[in-house]
Structure 1
C-alpha cells in the first residue's frame, strides 16, 4: 500500500508510525512523499486566508490514485467534508499541549519583558499576549529543526511548539517548559493524527478503522465541532481541549475552549461536559454558548469553508 505524506521530517516520522501500525495488520506499506502549498511557501500562515494548505495536495494525490491512504496532522484538516474521502481512523493521541523551548533553560515566567518569542500561530500569540508578560511575539516559519536552529542562533529568546511534534521526533528534552492549558489552550485536534483514504475503498476503510482510538475520536470530534460552529480556520485565535475522564457514572467527555481577539485583550472562555457518545453535540452546545457571549466578533471567518449557521445541540 502507498501511504501519502508530506516530506518534512516530522510528517514522515508520523507517517512511519502509522505505517508500522498497518504492517502489524499484515499489510506492507511504502511512503510516497508529496509537496504541499504550505511546505513550499515561506509566507506567514495567516496570509493563506483559510484552511487545508497542508492537506489539499495529499487529498488530490489520493483521488488521482497516486497513493492509497494519507496521513495528516488532524489540526490541519478542514472541518467540512471532502467528497470522495473518508477520515478512516484517528490513532491514539499524543499529549496535546504546547511547549516552550527557550534559551538558557528559561520558563515562560522567567523570560524578561521584551523577550522575542517566535510562533506562527495567532492562537498562541493571542493567548500569550493575554498573560500580560510584555513579550515581543514574532512570526516564525519552518520545520521543527529550523525553528530550533534559529533559536540557538540567537534570533529568538524562545519559541513555542507542539509537544507532540517534539515527542515524535525524540527531541522532547529540548523543551524547557510544558505550557499549562490554563495559560495556553492547544489547537483543536493538536497531537492527533488523521488517516484518510478514498471512500469507495470499503475494504481499506474497514482495515484502517481497526486503528481508530475511541477516546481520541470523541475528543477531537468535540473540538472540531467547536471549530466548525465558530466558522474558524486552523490559524484562528481559538484554543480548545477535550478529554475523556472518569466520572461518577463512568467515562465522560470534558471540554474547554477559548476564543480571543488577536491582541489577547478580549476573550470568551467556556467549558462543558457530557456523555462520550454525544461528543459532537457537546462541542456544538459549547460553541453556541460562546457565540451567545460574542465569540463570533473575535474570530475572522474562514473564506474557504461553506457557511455554517449557528446550531443548537
Structure 2
C-alpha cells in the first residue's frame, strides 16, 4: 500500500483525512463526499491517495480473487489510522464487514443503470451481428449474451478513458492523469456504469441507458459507501456530518441487495444482478442469476411491505433462498 496526501482548505483544525483510490472517478467521488462533510462539519480535510491491488494488477478482475480488490488497501489505511474516512464504490465492497470498521454513510444513490457506449450512436438492438462489446464484468457479459447471443464479449481492463478509447471511431478521454495505453478503436461498444460516466462528465459517450429489464445492475451500483473506524473519526462534528449525509432509502435498498449477495455467497465478479426499489411504500427486490455464457438466466422478485433495516436484510436473504431453491448455485457456478 502506498499513499499520498494533499491539503484542502485552511478551515479550523482539527481536520480529517479521506482515503481514496487515485483514479479520476475515485477522486471525483471522494471529493464530492469530502466537500459535503467539510461543509457540514466546518472542518478541513486532506485526501490520502492509496494504491490498491485492483489498480496495480493487469489480469481480468474475475481472476484477481474477486471481491475486495479495490477495497482492502483503503480499509487497511483506515485501520492503521492512515486516514479517518474512506470512500468506496459500494458495488466493489465485500458483503462481510471487517471487524473495527463500519459503513457510516451511504449518500443518496444516483443512476443505477449500465450504459452502452457504441460506435456511430448505435443502440444495443442496432449493433450488427458479431459486434465486439467490451466489459470487465461477468454480470454484464452474461446479460449481454442473454439479450444478444450473437455478440462477441471481450474482457477489458483500464480506466474509463482507456475503455472508451477501445470503441471504434471514438476520441479517448484523458482521465486518470492522461493514462490511455493499449489497444485503441478495436471494439464496437463498451458497457460501463452510467453513474461513473456522469460523475466524470462523460455522459455524451452514452448511446443507450440499458433498462434494468434488460440488464440488472450490480448490487450497490450507483451508491457510495463512506467507511470509518467503529469508534468514529475522532471528530464529533465530522461524525455528525456523516449521520446527516446518510440517505435512508439508499441504505435500505443496498442492505437488501447486499444481503442477497451475501446469502448467495457470491462476490462482485459473479454473474448476478440485483436492484431494490421503493414501490408504493414497499421495498421490491429483483435479482437475476445467469449462466456465465448467458445461455440461461433465473430472475425473481420479492417484496417487503414495511422494511426497515432488519426487513430489508430479511428480504435479501429470503429472495436469495428462493433463487438457491430454483438452482441458482448450479446455474452460475457459485
Q: Normalising by structure 1, what TM-score?
A: 0.92
Alpha-carbon shift at residue 79 of structure 1 (Å): 0.4
Render the CA deviation track for 1:199-248: whole Å, top value 9, x for unaligned: 12274544412210000000000000110000001010000111123x2x
Alpha-carbon shift at residue 258 of structure 1 (Å): 0.3
Higher mean displacement: 201-210 or 132-141 = 201-210
List runs of 5+ in structure 1 lacking aligned partners: 302-313
Distance in 2, matches of 1:238 and 1:57, equals 25
**Residue in 1 that maps onto 2:329:** 296
Residue 24, structure 1, aligned to residue 39, structure 2:
yes
- Secondary structure of the structure 2 residue equivalent to 1:39: helix
Higher mean displacement: 121-130 or 275-284 = 275-284
- Secondary structure of the structure 2 residue equivalent to 1:296: helix
Distance in 1, matches of 2:88 and 2:154, equals 26
**Residue in 1 that maps onto 2:140:** 124
Distance in 2, matches of 1:287 and 1:241, equals 13
**Residue in 1 that maps onto 2:250:** 216
List runs of 5+ in structure 2 lacking aligned partners: 1-15, 171-183
Are 1:128 and 1:184, in contact at CA under 8 Å, matched by a contact in 2?
Answer: yes
Residue 190, structure 1, aligned to residue 205, structure 2:
no
**Residue in 2 that maps onto 1:285:** 318
Higher mean displacement: 110-119 or 25-34 = 25-34
Are 1:244 and 1:276, in contact at CA under 8 Å, matched by a contact in 2?
Answer: no
Alpha-carbon shift at residue 165 of structure 1 (Å): 0.1
Aligned length: 297
- Secondary structure of the structure 1 residue equivalent to 2:83: coil
Moved >3 Å (runs of 4+) = 202-207
Are 1:13 and 1:169, in contact at CA under 8 Å, matched by a contact in 2?
Answer: yes
**Residue in 1 that maps onto 2:298:** 268
Match 1:9 to one of 16, 24, 27 = 24
Distance in 2, matches of 1:15 and 1:264, equals 35
Residue 80, structure 1, aligned to residue 110, structure 2:
no
Alpha-carbon shift at residue 266 of structure 1 (Å): 2.0
**1:1-313 superposed matches below 5 A:** 1-25=16-40, 26-151=42-167, 152=170, 153-201=184-232, 203=236, 205-245=239-279, 247=280, 251-274=281-304, 275-277=306-308, 278-301=311-334
Distance in 1, matches of 2:243 and 2:329, equals 35
**Residue in 1 that maps onto 2:13:** none
CA RMSD of aligned residues (A): 1.2
Distance in 1, matches of 2:256 and 2:188, equals 35
Q: CA 1:205/1:78 → structure 2, altered by over 3 Å: closer, same or farther?
A: farther
Are 1:197 and 1:205, in contact at CA under 8 Å, matched by a contact in 2?
Answer: no
- Secondary structure of the structure 2 residue equivalent to 1:128: helix
Alpha-carbon shift at residue 155 of structure 1 (Å): 1.2
Are 1:106 and 1:176, in contact at CA under 8 Å, matched by a contact in 2?
Answer: yes
Alpha-carbon shift at residue 133 of structure 1 (Å): 4.2
Q: Normalising by structure 2, what TM-score?
A: 0.87
Higher mean displacement: 276-285 or 174-183 = 276-285
Distance in 1, matches of 2:296 and 2:126, equals 25
- Secondary structure of the structure 1 residue equivalent to 2:283: strand
Higher mean displacement: 146-155 or 179-188 = 146-155
